[in-house]
């Protein structure tokens, strides 16, 4: 059903790197039009140019948006609603983690950043997209969660809590929209080789290596390919949840590392 993506308008948050970047390229390959949100406009400009070269017929609209800021989202949607008629697929991809502090010492600032980005931002964007989907009785919302939203581990208390929230929000929204033709999906990736680790540990390579070192990680492309698969199923079928892990990762905490 890849052909069903042709002409679909796809909004991707956190599109300036990682899963969002590769998802944009994937959807463009199959003739979807793109609405891309991220904080780093220069990265979005680079992505837009890459798509223009590879897929010159695709419409790509980019917006500087900080999803942790409700006003930033609302301002972007004023322009989005002027530029396009509808959003067919929403990929709520924007998310981050802050450090590796245990619960007793994690800072209020880090707590706020994770909750505002991973939970509130997802809710705010969804609230602005969902009414149009309900009016048309069609659409697909794909939430990027995490394996940490299914089982947690030490020093992942608040991050894990935000991803448990993504899981709960996905489940609840699926129930709320069950009488419609709207699909709600959740993808839960494990450890992946993206900029996520660098952001999490603020560029501390030693700390990052303790989590991501000595194993073969997922790539951003791996996860983007799964998102594309979820989005391209027959209208009668919804993949409610997909868990994708490196072969050497069993769950959030159990990882086999090469010596």
Pick the catalytic residue: 22, 30, 63, 159?
159
H/E segment holding residue 241 = strand 241-244
State whether the Cα torsion 187-191-194-196 is positive or negative.
positive
Distance, in Å, from the CA atom of 59 to the CA atom of 82, rounded to the nearest integer, reads: 15
Q: Is 6 marked active-site?
A: no
Q: Count Cα atoms within 13 angstroms, Cβ side, for 150.
A: 18
Which two tokens mark 99?
């450090």
Name the 3-class secondary structure at 126.
helix
Neighbour tally for 140: CB within 10 Å? 23
State whether the Cα torsion 171-175-181-182 is positive or negative.
negative
Distance, in Å, from the CA atom of 145 to the CA atom of 197, rounded to the nearest integer, reads: 16
Name the 3-class secondary structure at 121.
helix
Find out whether 188 and 242 touch, Cβ atoms under 8 Å.
Answer: yes
Q: Is 159 marked active-site?
A: yes
- Alpha-carbon torsion, ordered 96, 45, 33, 191, to 10 deg: -30
Which two tokens mark 114?
């994770």
Pick the catalytic residue: 48, 120, 163, 183?
163
Question: Strands, E, within 22-64: which ranges?
Answer: 33-38, 60-64
Find out whether 210 and 33 touch, Cβ atoms under 8 Å.
Answer: no
User: Could you give the residue numbers annotated as active site?
Assistant: 159, 163
């Amino acid at each position: 059903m890849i052909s069903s993506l042709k002409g679909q308008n796809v909004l991707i948050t956190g599109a300036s790197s990682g899963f969002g970047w590769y998802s944009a390229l994937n959807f463009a390959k199959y003739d979807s039009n793109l609405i891309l949100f991220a904080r780093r406009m220069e990265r979005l400009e680079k992505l837009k140019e890459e798509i223009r070269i590879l897929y010159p017929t695709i419409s790509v609209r980019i917006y500087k948006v900080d999803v942790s800021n409700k006003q930033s989202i609302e301002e972007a949607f004023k322009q989005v609603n002027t530029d396009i008629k509808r959003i067919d697929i929403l990929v709520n991809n924007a998310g981050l983690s802050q450090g590796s502090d245990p619960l007793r010492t994690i800072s209020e600032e880090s707590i706020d950043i994770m909750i505002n980005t991973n939970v509130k931002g997802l809710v705010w964007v969804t609230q602005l997209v969902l009414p149009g989907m309900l009016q048309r009785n069609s659409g697909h919302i794909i939430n990027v969660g995490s394996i940490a939203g299914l089982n947690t581990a030490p020093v992942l208390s608040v991050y894990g809590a935000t991803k448990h929230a993504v899981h709960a929000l996905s489940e609840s929204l699926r129930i709320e929209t069950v009488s419609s033709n709207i699909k709600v999906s959740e993808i839960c990736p494990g450890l992946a080789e993206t900029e996520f680790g660098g952001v999490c540990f603020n560029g501390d390579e030693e700390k990052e290596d303790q989590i991501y070192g000595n194993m073969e990680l997922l790539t951003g492309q791996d996860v983007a390919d799964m998102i594309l698969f979820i989005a391209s199923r027959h209208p009668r079928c919804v993949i409610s949840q997909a868990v994708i892990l490196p072969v050497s990762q069993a769950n959030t905490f159990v990882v086999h590392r090469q010596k």
